[in-house]
Amino acid sequence: MAEAEVRKRTGVIFVTAIVAQVLLVSAQVQTRSGVRVLEAVSFGAFARVQGVTSSAVRGVRDVWSNYAELRGAREENQGLKQQLAAMEIQLQEQRALAARTTKLQELLELQQSAELPTVAAEVIGGNPNAMAGIREITIGRGTADGVQAGMAVMAPHGIVGRVIGQPAARAARVQLLIDRYAAAGALTERTRAGGMVVGAERQPPLAMELVSNLQDVKPGDLIVTSGIDGIYPKGFAIGWVENVERTKGLYLSIAVKPAVDFSSLEEVLVVLVPPRPALADEESPRGGGTAK
C-alpha cells in the first residue's frame, strides 16, 4: 500500500518536474518569427480555448435568440397570411381593372375608327336560357341613350348581335349572333362570296348558309358583314371559315368560328343607326327584328 503510494507520488513528481522544465525551456526559446515558444504555445492554446468558449457562447446565444424569435413567429405568421390574402385580393382587383381598361381602350378605338354614331354599353346580365340555345345578354343602355330595337351591337373584334324587344330606359336585351334564331348578311372577304351567317347549336357556334357550291371558299377566309340585312353595317368581322363541305345540294356547308369571344363580353358598342324600316318590321320568333 505504502509502496504504491510512493510510486504514485514519484510519478507525479516526475511529471511535474518534466513539465516544469519544458516550460522553463520554452520560456527561453524563440520561434522563427521571434516569439517565445512559451508565448506562442500558450497563446495558441489559449486562443483555442477562446475559440471553443466563443463557439459555445455563440451557440447558446443563437439557441436563445432562435427560441425568442420563434415565440413571435406564430403571430407574425398569422399576420403575414392575412396580409398575403389581402394582397392577393388586391392583385386580382388590379388585374381585373387592367383587363377592363384594355377592353375599354379597344372599344374606344373602335368607336373612334367607326364612322357610325355609337354608344358604349356595359353588359349587366346574360345567358338567361342558354340550355335552350337562346343566347342573349342585357346591356346597361336603353331608350334614354337613343337605343332602339334592331340596332346592331359590336365589340372591338367584331359583330356581337342586335337589340331585340322594346328597350327600357336604361337597359336593353341583345340577341347574340350565336343565338339559334339570329342571322346576319355576310360575305367572304377574299372572294366576296355572299351568304348568311346564322347561329348553330354546335361547335363552332356559327354557320354560313346560302353560299353557292360554285363559290371559292376556303378554311381561314374572313367572313364580314355584307350590310344587306339592313341591321349590321357593312365590312365588320363576323368570324373565320373553319371548315367547308360540299353537299349534294346547291349550297356549301360552312362552319364559322366567331371573331368575338362571347363568353367574356363586358363592354359593347351599340350602333345608333336604326335598321331599315322594311327589315325592322319583320318579326323574329322571339320579339321582332331581323331573324332567320
**At its nearest, how many Å lie between other proteins and the CB of residue 56?**
35
- Pick out residues in 31-70 that bind other proteins (CB under 8 A): 32
Q: Which cell is 160 given?
A: 356581337
Segment contacting other proteins by CB under 8 A, of 6-14, 57-65, 78-86, 277-285: 6-14
**At its nearest, how many Å lie between other proteins and the CB of residue 17?**
5
Q: Are 184 and 172 in contact (CB under 8 A)?
A: no
Rounded to 10 deg, the angle between the 37-113 and 2-28 helix axes is 70
Length of the chain: 292
159, exposed or middle or buried, with CB in 10 Å at 0-12, 13-18, 19+? Answer: buried
225, exposed or middle or buried, with CB in 10 Å at 0-12, 13-18, 19+? Answer: buried
Nearer to other proteins, 21 or 65 (CB): 21
Segment contacting other proteins by CB under 8 A, of 8-16, 139-147, 178-186, 224-232: 8-16
Segment contacting other proteins by CB under 8 A, of 4-12, 42-50, 229-237, 268-276: 4-12
Nearer to other proteins, 14 or 64 (CB): 14
How far does CA 41 lie from the centroid of its chain? 70
Report d(CA 180, CA 240) in Å as an integer. Answer: 19
Among 21, 66, 94, 101, binds other proteins (CB under 8 A): 21
Report d(CA 104, CA 112) in Å as an integer. Answer: 12
Report if residue 18 touches other proteins, rule: CB under 8 A. Answer: yes
What count of Cα atoms within 13 Å lies in the side-chain half-sphere of residue 224? 13
The strand pairing partners of 138, in sequence order, are 125, 173
Report if residue 25 touches other proteins, rule: CB under 8 A. Answer: yes
Among 1, 28, 247, 285, binds other proteins (CB under 8 A): 28
**At its nearest, how many Å lie between other proteins and the CB of residue 30?**
9
Report if residue 169 touches other proteins, rule: CB under 8 A. Answer: no
- Pick out residues in 182-221 that bind other proteins (CB under 8 A): none
Q: Are 117 and 273 in contact (CB under 8 A)?
A: yes
Which helix (H) or strand (E) covers residue 131, if one does? Answer: none
Segment contacting other proteins by CB under 8 A, of 14-22, 50-58, 125-133, 187-195: 14-22
**At its nearest, how many Å lie between other proteins and the CB of residue 34?**
12
- Which positions lie near other proteins, rule CB under 8 A? 6, 9-10, 13-14, 17-18, 21-22, 24-25, 28-29, 32
